[in-house]
Amino acid sequence: MAKELKHCSFCGIEASASVPMIAGTEGHICEACVTLASQVVSSWGKKKELTEMQGPLPKPAEIKLKLDQYVIGQDLAKEILSVAVYNHYKRLKQESNKTGNLGDSGQEVEIGKSNILLIGPSGTGKTLLASTLAKIVGVPFAVADATTLTQAGYVGDDVENILVRLLDIADGQINKAEWGIVYIDEVDKIARSPEQAFGTRDVSGEGVQQALLRLVEGSQVKVSVKGRRKDHNGSDTVMIDTRNILFIAGGAFPGLEKHVEKRLMPPKTSIGFHAEVSNSEDKPTLEALLNATQPDDLKRFGLIPEFIGRFPVLAPLEPLDVDALIQVLTEPKNALVKQYQQLFAFDEVQLEFTQDALVEIAEKAIERNTGARGLRGILENVLRRAMFDVPSKGNVERCVVNAEMIRGQAEIEIVERASAFENADTLGLLASGGQS
């Protein structure tokens, strides 16, 4: 009687010396199917977590609409960020909708990620865009500062600490952290310094860029969890897959426009009577130069080519003019004017700004070259005396801020409430027909 050959009950492969079988009650399973089954079971838990983490899929226009409520202008940057986050959500949906059949052929298209680099002057809203995005998205969102990072082995934070922060925000759940979004601020500060002496280690510049390459590209990174919840094996380290983590980097890149201008408008070297006279009016604006930024310009600024290649999407932010700064002061949900009006309202005082005062505040911020970030400092300086005196008076109805006050030529206009006696006299005059 011929001996019956063993075969895998799932894929049908026959047992051999190179294909061992695990025997069950009514069948067998091969090593490959065991591995695949383990992946399917783990994907069930991941699918459940992703379903709990996600709400309705927001469209790009909806994401931009929410950004508009907090950030003025920067339509191009908002559009780029909205599309990136929407695609990130779609990848989440695709992952959570996988059926996990052992018979799948594995021919699904793997959707890659497109990391984003935000470029713009200080005070144009890069960090605000990132923090506002954190309120909108339904995935873990971590913000890291590149200036605190150093190359591994030196004093300071290692780049892996970014993932530790993301894991903390995800409540220690690795599956959630692996679908998060990370914003790296002040990335221009890790540019390679041209004055760096040859042969010395740039541990907080180029060294950080090189350390970030593996993190940003996508790889298995070992992260320490000391003092936190350990994994099921009781280990102090866990492995995080960064392939699906979306990285957004931002920086002011001061002086980048000079490299762009030099590329677009090479300096004229001809001299003598036949040389062309340069016209300053032909010089492109800062906004136009930033919009024309190419990877080669970032390389000249000091970013290494490998790092630039990991951020294929460049999102320039335009400098804010007077009108945009006035909108920043008055229109967003958390506008500064609304915030200070609320502070005065707690003392039952109305705070009013004339249009000329708003223009003067915006112009002063442009003079200081601080962008929207400098507006709060100006308002604090202007309103400090009023915020000190008004609570003690108790009979103030309104405070009016005008342009002369912003320029320091006058004090804030304070309108006091009419006293009870004055109100009684007024009512008595009206009752008597105006006769004394």
Q: Give the integer Cα–Cα distance in Å for 134 and 333.
A: 16
Is 8 marked as a binding-site residue? yes
Q: How confident is the model at residue 184, as a pLDDT?
A: 93
DSSP 312-358: -EEEE-PPP-HHHHHHHHHSSTT-HHHHHHHHHHTTT-EEEE-HHHH
What pTM, to 2 d.p., does this model score? 0.74
pLDDT in tens, 30-89: 888 888 887 677 666 555 555 555 567 788 999 999 999 888 889 999 999 999 888 888
- Among 100-114, 249-263, 363-377, which is the least confidently predicted range? 100-114
Provide the mean pLDDT of the chain: 81
Give 188's Cβ-side CA count (13 Å radius): 18
Is 364 marked as a binding-site residue? no
Is 128 marked as a binding-site residue? yes
pLDDT at residue 213 tops 70: yes
- For the record, the structure tokens of 405 come out as 């006050």
Distances (CA, A) of 393 to 343, 351, 399, 419: 16, 15, 12, 13
Residue located via tokens 């005065």:
344
How many CB atoms neighbour CB 428 within 10 A? 10
List of domains in the chain: 1-53 (no CATH), 56-96+112-194+202-267+282-319 (3.40.50.300), 322-429 (1.10.8.60)
Q: How confident is the model at residue 105, as a pLDDT?
A: 46
Is 122 marked as a binding-site residue? yes
3-state SS, residue 434: coil
Q: Give the integer Cα–Cα distance in Å for 179 and 246.
A: 8
Distances (CA, A) of 259 to 17, 67, 126: 65, 31, 21
Is 123 marked as a binding-site residue? yes
- Are residues 112 and 164 in contact, defined by beta-carbon separation less than 8 angstroms? no
Average pLDDT over residues 222-247: 75
Is 124 marked as a binding-site residue? yes
Is 11 marked as a binding-site residue? yes
- Among 34-43, 45-54, 148-157, 314-323, which is the least confidently predicted range? 45-54
pLDDT in tens, 341-383: 999 999 999 999 999 999 999 999 999 888 888 899 999 999 9
Q: How confident is the model at residue 343, as a pLDDT?
A: 94
How many CB atoms neighbour CB 290 within 10 A? 24
Is 125 marked as a binding-site residue? yes
